[in-house]
Structure 1
């Protein structure tokens, strides 16, 4: 007696039916306006039940191949003209979104749309992708700092207005809204957290980090973890998503005049310098990127590092015994988060298809795939809830910590300097860390940037190399 097909066999039979009918439609066996065979005939042909055949037809209708006409049947739709979209992105966005899988899924839904990926030049900005090529992107992805820099330079119209997505974390919609107009749909975000090697703590008999840790607690623990060629703590100092944490923590949320803000920012810079200058804690490692630090962490040469949820995508298959904790703080918990949004290019010749791609990437189907296959946090709130779909990307035990950290999340727009002045501020930090300018000069020059922001004065068009890690 023949047994019932397994779930996998059923899936294969159903997929075979759907793909076969797509091929026959593409090859002209069923012309636009023609009716497909009945559910009963298709069920018999493909060895399925009538209900299963109906599911296959529903898939074809959902993907735009046919339309279901009540009391008539399933009619083949006019074949759409093939469209090629260009998607502009930073080099780490492919990894952080698990984009290969998403584009494959999008292609199954919209087979007439081909998406080609265009990576911005290293250190480049989305706005320059339009000016320096004959083939600018149809869809831009960028982070919130890049968006704010575009807005400050008066280039927000590079991307068309979009309706704010009601299902995402509210602070993410704020990141991509300028003068009351939302321009990008948030896709993913990632707070920076403290990542630590659990084995190192266990071997030293130390209590693992927790949300009550101050920087003094971290320093004391890191000094005990440092031994031989292993150091207790490190991060990629020049990265624009790391050192600003110390400045954000120094500010607090209370209102202050330019002089008070300058003093607080200077204190944050001094704390950062004191930690990275402690040779019992922080190595003199000339890292060129976050990836260098993350590799040293994977090799067990560092016990604690600052990293974002996006950066942890590099570790999901490494077998590393690690976990995460909130970033240590000064007086109140603060951390920096990074996000990625997508917008329709003003110059696109295919606005309808570009919106379809953005609706897909920000929609429940793609967001669930992001949760399942990456450690990036989906922008849609409910897809990140416990019990919502599978998660196969080997997350740390405390992966869900971000839900308790939302109150402490800040981004570059919370610093009292103009977005396009971040390059100048980074330069000042580097000079100060290298003892090339004094504390007094640092304070004076930060004060200039703070007052410029308050007065909306001249803009610096330079910006640091912004990656999404």
Structure 2
């Protein structure tokens, strides 16, 4: 697996802190109880010993635990003064006189990209006595499973993973009825019986983003719907030669990027039909262009840890074209960059990958109606219009999505290209392969992308995964 970045470590640390707080608040761990060892906690939350210690230091400062040298970490519920951090973490009544606390576990970027902090603050203003606690987490569904969240954000990828373990998505309640722009936004959250388990919140297709100034300097035609990947490759070489910039950059190994080439070549994994997927010409035709994009532009090969690397290079003017999403475009909203977006270049088709995020209610929350009310609010025209006006994130609500006036920030030329893409949008499930195998295939392909293996060599190792 790729090494987690700093933001993921921070999110996991917050997850550990929230988990122990909740155990103490609920009474699962009583005064005098010892926590699991630092090694055990590190294993559970995929953290280093040093990160676990930093998390425990926070709980010590809050007065919830005490560290006993050579023994361990013990719960300490000393009587706190009113308003202290310890008071907030003790088991509390949820009677109406004390108000309602709802916990929303969300992917960290959504606090900014989905305006969640602003939205929950406004909700609290409109509903005195109700407090919404945002819990940033890389895997919000885990919070639902641990009983730590009433509402969670769910990507289409995570929903597919969960359905592979539990086709009925029994961890989640039926989603409240909300309005959304297209049936595809709901499809990732349909359980096997057809019930909807998450309300569509925001979305984005994968698109091509380009620096308009670079194209003007070279007197070249800007990307458009008629391009193929070979057009892009030829253009990237010219841009590199004339401007000494990277003509095209992408975090190819991301599961949000390389499957695009399979989808565009109409490749689908077949099971039990005698077809050896790793020897299918359509499979390698799809991947060959992705490798060419890495090695055949001229200049050094760029290796990336995340999409953020690519978006940073583009922001700095070091790359002329990138693969990105409307989520990623938010990094350019406060800049003076002259940029545009276009549909993806084509192979056999010009399909793209649709990325979705929904809001779901934990089936085990004791606050079912209150949680559903919060989801309806976050998916309402009012909140979704705020997302549309102040970010480049695409809201799921049809009315909010259609807004054209009062849009803040530096927006790209061709921003509305998403309207043309509904018929071209595809989902991970269209590949007919489990998420685990897709991730394993990605790991095996790194040697191929690096030119350490040819197609025949890579095919031998992939066949074991795909057979």
SS of structure 1 residue aligned to 2:356: strand
1:215 aligns with 2:215: no
Say yes or no: does 1:158 pair with 2:142: no
Whether 2:402 is the aligned partner of 1:390: answer no
**Closer, same or farther in 2 for the Cα pair 1:402/1:86, shift >3 Å?**
same
Instruction: State the secondary structure of the residue aligned to 2:186.
Output: helix
- Report deviation, 1:247: 1.4
Match of 1:362 in 2: 379
Secondary structure of the corresponding residue to residue 286 of structure 1: coil
Secondary structure at 1:202 match in 2: helix
State the SS of the aligned residue for 1:152.
helix
Task: Name 1:68's counterpart in structure 2.
Answer: none
> Aligned residue for 1:205?
219
**Aligned partners of 1:266 and 1:443 also within 8 Å:** no
- The offset of 1:89, in angstroms, is 1.4
Equivalent residue number for residue 424 of structure 2 = 408
Work out the CA distance in 2 between the residues paired with 1:258 and 1:323: 45
**CA distance 1:392–1:345, shift in 2 (3 Å):** same
- The whole-number CA distance in structure 1 between the counterparts of 2:459 and 2:177 is 39
Go from structure 1 to structure 2 and tell me whether the alpha carbon gap of 1:351 and 1:266 turns closer, same or farther (over 3 Å shift).
same
TM-score normalized by structure 2? 0.73
- 3-state secondary structure, aligned to 2:132: strand
Q: Is 1:421 aligned to 2:437, yes or no?
A: yes
2:245 is aligned with 1:230: yes
Distance in 2 between residues matched to 1:277 and 1:93, nearest whole Å? 34
2:290 to 272, 283, 287: 272
Give distance in 1, aligned partners of 2:122 and 2:402: 23
Once the two structures are superposed, residues 204-228 of structure 1 have per-residue CA deviations (whole angstroms, 9 ceiling, x without a partner) of 0101110000011001111110046
Give the secondary structure class of the aligned counterpart of 1:313: helix
Deviation at 1:448, TM superposition (A): 5.2
Q: How does 1:216-365 map to 2 (within 5 A)?
A: 216-227=230-241, 229-251=244-266, 259=275, 262=278, 263=280, 264-280=282-298, 283-365=300-382
| Number of equivalent positions | 367
SS in structure 1 at match of 2:206? strand
SS of the residue aligned with 2:385?
helix
Equivalent residue for 1:147, pick from 151, 159, 166 = 159
Aligned counterpart in structure 2 of residue 194 of structure 1, from 208, 213, 224: 208
1:91 pairs with one of 97, 108, 125: 108
User: Residue in 2 aligned with 1:112?
Assistant: 129
CA contact (8 A) 2:266 2:349 kept: no
Q: 1:177 to 1:110 in 2, by over 3 A?
A: same
The structural deviation recorded for 1:114 is 1.0
Alpha-carbon offset, residue 171 of structure 1: 0.4
Verify the 8 A CA contact 1:194 1:326 in the aligned structure 2: yes
Question: Which blocks of at least 5 consecutive residues in structure 2 are unaligned?
Answer: 1-94
Gaps of 5+ in 1: 1-77, 452-469
Structure 2 CA distance for aligned equivalents of residues 111 and 209 of structure 1: 50
**In 2: Cα distance, 1:212 partner to 1:449 partner:** 36
Corresponding residue SS for 1:142 = strand
Segments of 4+ moved more than 6 angstroms: 253-256
| Match of residue 101, structure 1, among 110, 114, 118 | 118
**Alignment RMSD:** 2.5
Offset at residue 444 of structure 1 (A): 4.8
Conserved 8 A contact 2:233-2:297:
no
Secondary structure (helix, strand or coil) at the match of 2:263 reads: helix
Tell me how far apart the structure 2 counterparts of residues 126 and 448 of structure 1 sit (CA, whole Å).
32
Q: Is residue 268–residue 431 contact of structure 2 (8 Å, CA) maintained in 1? A: no
TM-score, normalised to structure 1, is: 0.73
Partner of 2:6: none
Change (3 A) 1:445 1:95: farther
Cα drift, residue 163 of structure 1: 4.6
